[in-house]
Amino acid sequence: MRFHRLFLLSATLMVALLSGCRQQIGGKGETTENPESVLSRLDTDLTYDARLWADSVLGSMSLESKCAQLFLPALYADADSYTISRLKKYAETGIGGIVLLKGSSSGASAIADSLAAFSHIAPFVSIDAEWGLAMRLADAPRFPANGMISKEVGEDLMYEYGMELARECREVGINMVLGPVIDVDSEGGFIGSRSFGMDPERVSRLAIAYGRGVAAGNVLTVAKHFPGHGSVSTDSHRTKGIISRSLVALDTIDLRPFRSWIEQRLPGIMVGHLAVPSIDPDMLPAAVSGTVITDLLRNDLGFDGLVLTDALNMEGAEGYGPEMALKAGADMIVAPADTYAGINAVKSAIEEGRIDSERLDDAVRKILIHKYLYALPRQQKEEPEETLASPEADSIALRLRDP
């Protein structure tokens, strides 16, 4: 478990109390600062500390190490000698982290510990956990797919679910969850039971509560797949999807959960390999479209968190390189077809002036800020947990099906 963030908050509060806040408690003619404003100021202080740290680290990095920080290559959660050897080589290159594929919790834990030991900057260890870690780790507690969750389930239970997932993640050293799916399903849509359903309002409520629970458990949560995969009938693993909705339908259906996510200031969003002709007439996959990422997501919707691409080794992204994603406004490249070639492509684009170096610095700064908040070294256990199972996990799984 991690206690660093709690320690920082407590320490900040103590310093504020000892040195005297802007409004001293109990002073003559002065008012007592209410708890909400104290918490808001503490959060601001923590973010300020994160920015200072990020700027300090950024200033010491070479061009190549900055480029490498953008990348999250995929590895199976199996700590065999071949995987550990690949992991060490990735870390020496300076990658930002990894995406765990199928394996076991013990394999995931060994990989997380090894990557932390190999890396100069705390790495992200991410995983697709759309319905819990069992989506990837065979021995993890099992929860129902989002579409199988009972219609009676409310926000309190979803928040509890998110907190439980965060606990399991921390046990094995995972600090980033590529989920939840906040796509709004539709008739004939490919996303199916990965979605919370066809009602944008319900999708928003359940996804936000779940995401807040994960984030409160100090794990970075990444909503996907912007700007919405629900109406797309094809699998973007095999081909580029096309969102044929009008601007009005897109705004009232697909974007509604993402707008709520952004309003709650949740940390991450993944952009899909989805062409949106109503927004981008060039029909570029959203993950490499400046119109979708910079104009819509950043400027119009006001998202200032971490933007990840969907896996660039998917056929829906074929022909589009990581340098295009960075230029479009993405901060991290998930599962590239060739990590080393990708790093070199980004580096060449910067050196040749095809991408402004400030765009790279902005992306790396965002990565480092979020690492300060979520990816600091985890506390090592003398005796690791033998299993992630718990009575709480069993109870939550049951109540998600039948509250």
Whether residue 30 is predicted with pLDDT greater than 60 in this model: the reply is: no
pLDDT of residue 37: 46
Whether 6 has a pLDDT exceeding 80, the answer reads no
Flag whether 25 is in a domain: no
**Non-local CB neighbours of 340 within 8 Å, separated by 6+ positions:** 93
Q: Which residues, listed in sequence order, are joined to residue 334 by a DSSP beta bridge?
A: 72
What value, to the nearest 5°, has the Cα angle with vertex 258 and ends 199 and 193?
A: 45
User: Do 111 and 55 fall into the same domain?
Assistant: no
With bands split at pLDDT 50, 70 and 90, how would you rate the model's confidence at 1?
A: very low
- Cβ neighbours of 55 (radius 10 Å): 13
Residues 6+ apart with CB under 8 A from 233: 188, 189, 190, 241
251-265, 303-317, 327-341, range with the lowest pLDDT: 303-317
How many Å apart are CA 96 and CA 27, to the nearest integer? 48
Decide: residue 184, CB within 10 A, 0-12 exposed, 13-18 middle, 19+ buried. buried
End-to-end CA distance of the chain: 29
Q: Specify whether 50 is located in the same domain as 122.
A: no
Q: Which of 39-53, 154-168, 218-232 has the lowest mean pLDDT?
A: 39-53
- For residue 27, being part of any structural domain is answered with no
286 and 187 fall within a common domain: yes
Residue 41 included in any domain? yes
Indicate the pairing of strand 220-226 with strand 124-127. Answer: unpaired
pLDDT digits (tens, 9 = 90+) for 274-285: 888 889 999 999
pLDDT of residue 381: 45
pLDDT surpassing 80 at residue 40: no
Same domain for 382 and 283? yes
Is residue 126 domain-shared with residue 260, that is, in the same domain?
yes
Which pLDDT belongs to residue 67? 98
Which residues make beta-bridge pairs with 103? 77, 137
Please pick, among 45, 235, 237, 361, the residue that the annotation labels catalytic. Answer: 237
Q: How many domains are there within the chain? A: 2
What pLDDT does residue 19 have? 34
One domain, residues 44 and 184 = no
Q: How many Cβ atoms are within 10 Å of 99's Cβ, its own excluded?
A: 20
Q: According to the model, what pLDDT value does residue 351 have?
A: 98
DSSP secondary structure code for residue 59 in this structure: H
- pLDDT at residue 242 in the model: 83
Specify the higher pLDDT residue, 32 or 170: 170
Q: Which residue has the higher pLDDT, 190 or 334?
A: 334
Whole-number pLDDT of residue 316: 60
The answer to whether position 24 is within a domain reads no
Question: Which residue in 261, 247, 354 sits closest to 301, CA to CA?
Answer: 261
Residue 25 banded pLDDT, cuts 50, 70, 90 = very low
Identify whether 356 is part of a domain: yes
Beta carbons of 308 and 124 less than 8 angstroms apart: no
Instruction: Locate 227 and state its tokens.
Output: 């700007």
Q: Of 128-142, 160-174, 221-235, 359-373, which gets the smallest average pLDDT?
A: 221-235
> Looking at the structure, do residues 56 and 133 belong to the same domain, yes or no?
no
Q: Which tokens belong to 44? A: 């601001």
Distance CA 116, CA 377 (A): 7
* Domain shared by 244 and 309, yes or no: yes
DSSP codes, 326-339: HHHT-SBEES-S-H
Work out the mean pLDDT of the chain and round it to a whole number.
86
| 18: pLDDT strictly greater than 50 | no
Residue 8 has pLDDT above 50, yes or no: no
Same structural domain, 47 and 196? no
Q: Quick check: is 30 in a domain? A: no
Quote the pLDDT of residue 187.
Answer: 79
What pLDDT shows up at residue 298?
97
Q: What is the pLDDT of residue 358?
A: 98
Spatial separation of the C-alpha atoms in residues 115 and 124, rounded to whole Å: 9
Would you say residue 182 lies in a domain? Answer: yes
Q: Where residue 128 sits, what CATH number does that domain have? A: 3.20.20.300
pLDDT band at 386 (very low <50, low <70, confident <90, very high): low
Residue 376 or 250, more confident: 250
Q: H helices within 300-356, ranges in order?
A: 322-328, 339-351
Tokens of 261: 């996510």
Q: Which residue in 128, 183, 185, 310 is the catalytic one?
A: 310
Report CA 20 to chain centroid distance, whole Å: 37
Show the CA angle centred on residue 302, arms to residues 298 and 307, nearest 5°. 45
Model pTM score: 0.86
45 annotated active-site? no
How many percent of the chain have pLDDT more than 90?
72
User: Can you tell me the mean pLDDT for 50-75?
Assistant: 97
Domain that holds residue 41: 1-19+37-60
User: In terms of domains, do 7 and 74 share one?
Assistant: no
The phi-psi region of residue 22 (left if phi > 0; otherwise alpha if psi is between -120 and 50; otherwise beta) is: alpha
Strands 124-127 and 176-177: parallel
Selection from 265, 284, 170, 264 nearest residue 217 by Cα: 170
219 in a structural domain: yes
Active site residue 310: yes
CB atoms < 10 A from the CB of 251, how many? Answer: 14
Instruction: Looking at the structure, tell me whether residues 157 and 290 fall in a common domain.
Output: yes
Looking at the structure, do residues 293 and 347 belong to the same domain, yes or no?
Answer: yes
Q: What pLDDT is stored for residue 191 in this prediction?
A: 82
Q: What is the pLDDT of residues 194-208, one digit of tens each?
A: 999 999 999 999 999
Residue 375: both structure tokens together: 């990816």
